[in-house]
Structure 1
Amino acid sequence: MAEDDTDRRDELEAEREAEIDEELERVDRDPDEVDDGDDDLGTQNAPRSEDADADEIEEFEPEDVEPEAEEGEREGE
């Protein structure tokens, strides 16, 4: 019974690796570029800077944007 479980586990792992290789080829990546054991495929994790504060990010304030005129206030009407 244990041998059957091992065979099944090996078969599932081989299928998983084949699917990953097919997907990498589909997106035009060399399957050999990918590190074995890297389960984070498909995720994007950018490194975060310790000194980046929310205070440093300027809020958008539309200073030069004129408010839209009401329907009766438009020119030419």
Structure 2
Amino acid sequence: MTFQEIIDSIEALTVEEQERLFELIRKRRIENRRSEIAANAQEVFKAVEAGTAIQGSFEDLRSYLLVEDEE
């Protein structure tokens, strides 16, 4: 199904069905983002536990990232 076909199908729905669809999509996007955040947090916890996490102030992080960009 092409993107345009999806748009056409959505436009064929009633206003109420469109609202339910948009709410469902919004909730799923939120849940997916929560899952991504949880996965990132697990990676950070593992890095801290392994001693490979870089710690410091905002300025330390900024300097570190700027140096990486220049390489």
Higher-helix-fraction structure: 2
| Larger-gyration structure (1/2) | 1
> Smaller-chain TM-score range?
0.3 to 0.5
> How does the TM-score come out when normalised to structure 1?
0.40
